[in-house]
Amino acid sequence: MPSPFPGMDPYLERPAVWASFHSKFVVMLANAIEENLSAQYYVEVETRTYTDDGSDGVMIGIPDVVITNDRSRQPELTQAQIATQVRPQQVIVPMPIMVKERYLEIRDIDNNKVITVIELLSPKNKAAGSGRISYEKKRQSVLSSSAHLVEIDLLRAGKPMTMLGIDSHSAYRILVSRSSQRPNAALYSVALWQRLPDLPIPLRSDDEAVVVSLQPVLDTLYRKGRYANRIDYEQLPPSPNLSVDEQNWLATVIAQ
């Protein structure tokens, strides 16, 4: 069953869904690029790993740790002891977790040189903390190199990546930064009701960009992942809150 949405499905942004969706989308995008990529290049699925303490409050699909106050196990105290006994408060300490985020590199098959880096942003990348710090370092490294950068942001929540000259705000953003044109770059602003665009993936200057259609990638993943049976569309979509126009449009889509 297809998604009720013509473009990005905002319900896929739920923490319980996004972690696996992110990994699957990256791999499926790699397959779509390879279909039209010349023999001079190949696509590699890479992994960025960093340690995070969860202090940013962003869920990444790991079940909550719940600490309960079980009064049935507390010793009985006398009135005098109750008056003087200091009881500890139950707290949760941040536990370090290893976060792995997949991204793509298009490389020259002759010398393995990285030609283009393709990133699908995660909630950790858009929240204050180690995830954003790690990604911003990688982003700056790519922007300072001869490699192109394609940055796909299909998350409404969080702080968007830094870029200047934006004249409108949209639900989703896709940045294509060609190394030869920096600091100028192309930004695709996608509203909630719009299809994802056909995206030109830049290669070497003497080769034409390979065009990948993002919407069929998303639609195929939605169908194969059986998200229609996993998502409860009777609930509100995850935060942030929609605008009035978006709320009205979403209610119409869901009711169909």
pLDDT digits (tens, 9 = 90+) for 86-127: 788 888 877 777 888 899 999 999 999 999 999 999 999 999
Q: Is 5 inside any structural domain?
A: no
Q: Which is more confidently placed, 204 or 95?
A: 204
67 within some domain:
no
Within-domain flag for 247: yes
Per-residue pLDDT averaged across 177-184, rounded? 96
Range of the domain at 112: 10-62+95-255
Dihedral sign, Cα of residue 128, residue 27, residue 50, residue 98: positive
pLDDT at 62: 41
Q: How many domains does the chain have?
A: 1
Please check whether residue 69 lies inside any domain of the structure: no
Residue 87 lies in a domain: no
pTM here?
0.83
Is 68 among the domain residues?
no
Asked if the structure places residue 134 within a domain, the reply is yes
Question: At 249, is the pLDDT very low, low, confident or very high (cuts 50, 70, 90)?
Answer: very high
In this structure, is residue 84 part of a structural domain?
no
